[in-house]
Amino acid sequence: MNPDQQRVLIDRELYLPESWFADSDRLADAGVPERALFATKPELAWRMIERACDDPLLVLGWVTGDEA
């Protein structure tokens, strides 16, 4: 790796299964904010990519995800 290049984690999103959103007690027990809405993993990935692209200081060469 070139010493002028770095790899860092710049963002994250917590995926919650859709079934959780049918159980408000479970969400409350887990500390999930009331305004939270279900999002698929690809939707969460695009949110992070869009935020990164909005930052003029970031130069992105690649992105990765566990199951996106």
- Half-sphere exposure for 2 (CA within 13 Å, toward CB): 2
The more confidently predicted of residues 39 and 66 is: 39
CB atoms within 10 A of CB 45: 19
Going by the DSSP 8-state scheme, the letter that residue 17 receives in this structure is -
Q: Cα–Cα distance between 39 and 6 in angstroms, integer?
A: 30
In degrees, to the nearest 5, what angle opens at C-alpha 13 toward C-alphas 3 and 1?
10
* pLDDT, tens digit, 9 for 90 and up, residues 5-55: 777 788 999 999 999 999 999 999 999 999 999 999 999 999 999 999 999
Task: State yes or no: pLDDT of 60 exceeds 90.
Answer: no
Going by the DSSP 8-state scheme, the letter that residue 60 receives in this structure is -
Please state the domain extents for the chain.
16-68
